Amino acid sequence: MLLSPRRALAAVLVLCAATAGCSDLDEPGQGLARNDLVSELAAQMSGAAGLTYEASYQLSGGGTATVAQAQRPTRSAYVYPGGKVTVTADATTQCRTATNATTCTMTAPATPTSPPPAKVFEGADGAGMVLPSTVLALLNAAVLDNDVEVVQHDTTIAGRHATCVRLSGVDDAATRDFTTCITNEGALGSFNGFLNSIRVDVAMTHYAEKVADEMFEVPKAAKLVDRRGRPAAQRPAS
């Protein structure tokens, strides 16, 4: 029976402890095993794109955020202090909810070759939320770096089993040092590190495998601005 890279690495560590061997885990070849672990976590996150789930997070500073996605049709939503972004087949919609009057701006829908503009997620970044896609990019960068230092442990977050890695010295990434936990389903469990010179500390507090349709809708009474390549129009959201 073939073992997954992560289970094979765990078996090696157990054997080392039992035989008092493997005194030097930094010998040539160990980087490959460690990168296999990170690669497996990245694969889990990539596979989670096909799941339906809703996850809530506690942010540093006391705020909260929610990430939700559903299939058939494929759609996603990100709710954070002061804003909301929904990505559907019809549009990418950015809402600003920090003021008394909520305004939502619709832009052309995302495509595989033309992802939604990064600027629509600036509000989430500024509020201390890190997107799963950002963490996936960091893990992929670590996979390509044989010199990265990896420390791994398992934990439970919001009732879900998760594998955590502390990565140090990651080249060609948005941050060189960070800690992240990925659940068995591939959802982001937690993240701790610096992004854009801002300390980000995110931890999952709730996970559900069902998402209400209202999660992907524009907030009621919001003023809607449609900029999907047609004459600009403004109307109250129904």
**Residue 78 identity (one-letter amino acid):** Y
Q: What is the pTM of this model?
A: 0.78
The answer to whether residue 187 sits within a structural domain is yes
Report how many domains make up the chain. Answer: 2
The answer to whether residue 161 sits within a structural domain is yes
177 and 227 within one domain? no
pLDDT at 15 over 90: no
The answer to whether residue 78 sits within a structural domain is yes
Q: Higher pLDDT residue, 140 or 28?
A: 140
195 and 169 within one domain? yes
The answer to whether residue 59 sits within a structural domain is yes
172 and 58 within one domain? no
Listing DSSP states for 48-74 in one string gives GGG--EEEEEEETTS-EEEEEEETTTT
184-195 residue pLDDT tens: 999 999 999 998
Mean pLDDT across 92-99: 86
Tallying the residues shown for the chain, one arrives at 238
pLDDT at 105 over 80: yes
203 and 145 within one domain? yes
203 and 189 within one domain? yes
The percentage of the chain sitting over the pLDDT mark of 90, rounded to a whole number, equals 55
198 and 154 within one domain? yes
The answer to whether residue 15 sits within a structural domain is no
